[in-house]
Amino acid sequence: MKYSYNWLRELAGFKEGPEKLAEVLTMKSFEVEFVEKSGNDWKLNVAILPNRVPDSSGHFGLSREISAMLGLKFNAEKFGAKQYPSGGIRQMLDVEIENPEDSARYMAIVLDGVKVKDSPAWMKERLELCGIQSINNLVDAANYVMLETGQPLHVFDWSNLRGKKKGIKGIRVRHAKKGEKLKGLDEKDYVLSPNILVIADGEGPVAVAGIKGGKGSGVSKDTKTIVLEAANFSQSVVRRGSRELNLKTDASLRFEHGLDPNLADFAIRRLADLIIKLAGGASKGLLDVYPKKDIPRSILFTVERSNAVLGETLTAHEYKKIFESLGFKAEEKSKTEFLVEIPTIRRDISIEEDLIEEAGRIYGYEKIKPVLPSTSHIPDAEEPELYWEARTRDLLKSSGYIESFVYEFTGSTELSLFEESSNGLLELENPVSPETKYLLGRPVLKYILQTAENIRNNIEIARLFGVAKSIRAGGKGNEEPANERKTVSIVLGQKGGKNGEEFYEVKGAVDALLESLGIAEHWYDEKLDRAEAKEAAKLYHPYRRAEIKIDDECIGCIGEVHPATRARIKTKARIVAAELDMKLLAKHAESDAHYSHISKFPAIIRDIAVIVPESVKTEDVLNVVEGSAGGNLFDTDLFDYFQDEKMEEGEEKSLAFHLIFQSSEKTLTDGEADASIAKIVKALEAKSWTVRK
């Protein structure tokens, strides 16, 4: 939010320069994002925390905060406003709140005999510095007092309001009727729905409550009699209306954070004072509809507890001085206890710990000496899934993959890119946008999109991984709890790679991960028998996909993204993805390392390539190799997959393996290795497969 340095100094009376003031605010209250010269003034852009918008979105509130931090006395009484009796306003105006939950308070003052003209230069300058365009003296006064107090205000032309009784204008705070329309002060036409709260007269909406005024009831150069509005609207209702209309204003920003109903009284009287000063006129009375008054709450504060929490010894007198500087009343219950009354504008203070935090920051955290806690720490019991999740992250990073994070929401457009159904996904009742309509059911889709985006940005090869939640609806019509699981996604995309090499690189990463987690007995099943696997198979190439299994339990799947899907996500790069269930990984992982005797005799490595029908699984070839090699075959490793145009036409593929021969008892000779190779070749050729010479 933007603040005027001169205005703040005028209210608080400090001597610090703009840069020093920004430093003090940043250290003790709110970050000052920048300080900028603006004519004879300085503009401070202050990042007001959401929970402090109710009390600090106006210059009054921030100047009180500055006074407390600098040890100055903030005299609120000198900024008082004239009292306005009810007078004969009910002979001119009638106000009704349909539902007090939507509007806790609605105040109105009628001023007669005003003159509409330009605002004085000093007001224009301050409004402009704070990002508000000058309109005329009446509208500008309302905006000025909003910037001063934090309370949004509005001015209606009384003569343009319509009522049911002769001479009495009607104002009703209600929800819009379906299809009602309003032309805003911005000249735009808005179609309203029952979700939107409006200010209506006897015939229809004249403003969207807390968001935007209507053109028809706005002031003009001919306006003589006006209605000043200061109201308190439900933050959730204003937020919902603002989102539905796609309309953000200075007023809606403040109402969405929940304002103090008691602020309306001070603000409307300040506005009336200012308008009478700038535009003349006289009051016809004040009307206040306040069904349930908001009263200050009191919190018991103990000096000993606060000192223990802060780690600093402050006296009762010091605490009382701090609280009073913030506008709190501190009544002594004993020498070490206070009953602290919190003004209703400080809606962020509700428990003793909040008071301790206030005392600490005003005293100055930098003054508190750091001391190590004296209590012993007993670590929590280890959570296996979190432990293995951290191990998984470390292992994938060491394999050259970069961790990425995804937004755990999706929408119909994104799902359609993958021909994924929204069935089984949890739908949000009030999404921020159509593309955040559902909770994410399959995180790997997001990582595939990220990979494609990286490739489009001229990255030759992208290796990404992430751990994200998969959330699906429970069974029996959502009566059962949602099914929430973490999945590990491993994705590789590459421009112009060899046919199929990406698949085996990701498979190698999966193998290395599982083996490092102590899961050695895993295998790949290309049948995809399960219903879930068949649904997931639409994403992948029909001949380059498999389930990852331990015994007969599926822990995930791997596959090359289908060419049709690649076309929809607008990438020519080959993308391969693997999905693993984190809970099942944790279930099968072993933290204890198992010792395996390492042979002291050297190994002999031979390579062999075999051409097989495209339908033949790698696992089938390995079974033949390992079944015919004899006892000296120590390990096998698939290192190449090849398929040229001729092979593709003949529905064949070439698989190449490293074969490692080693004995734990002696040094093998080349002749013994060659004899094993001959047996393997004979067994492969017996299957009518071609061994490449």
- 145 and 262: one domain? yes
| Residue 178, domain member (yes or no) | yes
- 268 and 317: one domain? no
pLDDT grade for 505, boundaries at 50, 70 and 90: confident
Task: Mean pLDDT check: name the lowest of 76-80, 110-114, 171-175, 535-539.
Answer: 535-539
- Give the whole-angstrom CA distance, residue 532 versus residue 536: 6
Average pLDDT of the residues in 160-167: 82
pLDDT grade for 386, boundaries at 50, 70 and 90: confident
The CA-atom distances, in angstroms, between 164 and each of 99, 170, 215, 439 are 20, 7, 21, 49
pLDDT computed for residue 589 by the predictor: 85
- 257 and 332: one domain? no
Is the pLDDT at 193 greater than 60, yes or no?
Answer: yes
Query: How many CA atoms are closer than 13 Å to the CA of 272, on its beta-carbon side?
Result: 28
pLDDT tens digit string along 243-300? Answer: 999 999 999 999 999 999 999 999 999 999 999 999 999 999 999 999 999 999 999 9
pLDDT tens digit string along 510-545? Answer: 988 998 888 877 888 776 655 555 566 678 888 788
Q: Say whether 196 sits in a helix, a strand or coil.
A: coil
Is the pLDDT at 381 greater than 80, yes or no?
Answer: no
Is the pLDDT at 217 greater than 80, yes or no?
Answer: yes
Query: How many CA atoms are closer than 13 Å to the CA of 17, on its beta-carbon side?
Result: 4
126, 159, 157: which is closest to 143 by C-alpha? Answer: 126
Query: 367-375: long-range contacts at Cβ-Cβ below 8 A with a sequence spacing of 24 or more?
Result: 367/312, 368/310, 368/311, 368/312, 369/311, 369/312, 371/311
- 47 and 149: one domain? no
The CA-atom distances, in angstroms, between 353 and each of 64, 212, 375, 466, 601 are 21, 38, 20, 37, 69
- Comparing 232 with 516, the larger pLDDT belongs to 232
CATH of the domain at 548: 3.30.930.10
To 10 degrees, the CA torsion angle through 470, 475, 480, 482? 10
Average pLDDT of the residues in 45-73: 95
Is the pLDDT at 42 greater than 80, yes or no?
Answer: yes
- Comparing 306 with 616, the larger pLDDT belongs to 306
| Residue 596, domain member (yes or no) | no
CATH of the domain at 40: 3.30.56.10
- Give the whole-angstrom CA distance, residue 348 versus residue 358: 11
Average pLDDT of the residues in 333-351: 95
pLDDT grade for 338, boundaries at 50, 70 and 90: very high
Nearby residues of 358 by Cβ (< 8 Å), 6 or more positions away: 322, 323, 326, 349
- 442 and 515: one domain? yes
pLDDT grade for 497, boundaries at 50, 70 and 90: low
Q: What stretches of 121-255 show up as alpha helix (H) in DSSP?
A: 121-129, 137-149, 235-245, 250-255
Q: Domain end: 51, 79, 107, which one?
A: 79
pLDDT grade for 593, boundaries at 50, 70 and 90: very low
pLDDT grade for 182, boundaries at 50, 70 and 90: very high
Q: Taking a C-beta distance cutoff of 8 angstroms, is the pair 569, 454 a contact?
A: no
| Residue 378, domain member (yes or no) | no
Instruction: Give all strands (DSSP E) within 314-429, no chain letters.
Output: 329-334, 337-342, 402-403, 409-410
Q: Domain end: 264, 289, 314, which one?
A: 289
- 280 and 135: one domain? yes
- 651 and 515: one domain? no
- Comparing 220 with 534, the larger pLDDT belongs to 220
pLDDT tens digit string along 197-206? Answer: 999 999 999 9
pLDDT grade for 651, boundaries at 50, 70 and 90: confident
pLDDT computed for residue 372 by the predictor: 77
In percent, the amount of the chain with pLDDT more than 70 equals 94
- Give the whole-angstrom CA distance, residue 606 versus residue 282: 103
Q: Taking a C-beta distance cutoff of 8 angstroms, is the pair 263, 256 a contact?
A: no
- Comparing 635 with 403, the larger pLDDT belongs to 403
Q: Is the pTM of this model over 0.85?
A: no
- Pairing type for strands 169-175 and 402-403 reads unpaired
The whole-angstrom distance between residue 133's C-alpha and the CA centroid of its chain comes to: 31
Nearby residues of 457 by Cβ (< 8 Å), 6 or more positions away: none
Highest mean pLDDT range out of 231-240, 511-520, 527-536, 617-626? 231-240
- 280 and 136: one domain? yes
Average pLDDT of the residues in 460-488: 84
Mean pLDDT of the chain: 90
Task: Mean pLDDT check: name the lowest of 45-54, 71-80, 346-355, 469-478.
Answer: 469-478
Instruction: Give all strands (DSSP E) within 259-296, no chain letters.
Output: 282-289
CATH of the domain at 642: 3.30.70.380
The CA-atom distances, in angstroms, between 403 and each of 293, 400, 489, 548, 579 are 52, 10, 10, 22, 14
pLDDT tens digit string along 112-163? Answer: 999 999 999 999 999 999 999 999 999 999 999 999 999 999 999 999 999 8
Q: Taking a C-beta distance cutoff of 8 angstroms, is the pair 613, 621 a contact?
A: no
CATH of the domain at 202: 3.50.40.10
To 10 degrees, the CA torsion angle through 633, 637, 643, 644? -90
- 568 and 433: one domain? yes
- 395 and 499: one domain? yes
Nearby residues of 78 by Cβ (< 8 Å), 6 or more positions away: none
| Residue 593, domain member (yes or no) | no
Q: What does the H/E/C string look like for 367-399?
A: HCCCCCCCCCCCCCCCCHHHHHHHHHHHHHHHC
pLDDT computed for residue 316 by the predictor: 95
| Residue 598, domain member (yes or no) | no
Is the pLDDT at 478 greater than 60, yes or no?
Answer: no
pLDDT grade for 489, boundaries at 50, 70 and 90: very high
| Residue 415, domain member (yes or no) | yes
142, 151, 86, 97: which is closest to 119 by C-alpha? Answer: 142
pLDDT grade for 601, boundaries at 50, 70 and 90: confident
Domain count, the chain: 5
- Give the whole-angstrom CA distance, residue 448 versus residue 241: 35
Average pLDDT of the residues in 403-428: 90
pLDDT computed for residue 15 by the predictor: 95
- 411 and 475: one domain? yes
Highest mean pLDDT range out of 304-318, 549-563, 631-645? 304-318
Residue 663 DSSP code:
-
Is the pLDDT at 433 greater than 90, yes or no?
Answer: no
The tokens for 101 are: 């939950």
pLDDT computed for residue 500 by the predictor: 66
| Residue 452, domain member (yes or no) | yes
pLDDT computed for residue 97 by the predictor: 97
Q: Taking a C-beta distance cutoff of 8 angstroms, is the pair 162, 199 a contact?
A: no
Q: Domain end: 27, 44, 79, which one?
A: 79
| Residue 376, domain member (yes or no) | no
- 62 and 113: one domain? no
Average pLDDT of the residues in 463-484: 82
pLDDT computed for residue 665 by the predictor: 86
The parent domain of residue 308 ranges over 297-365
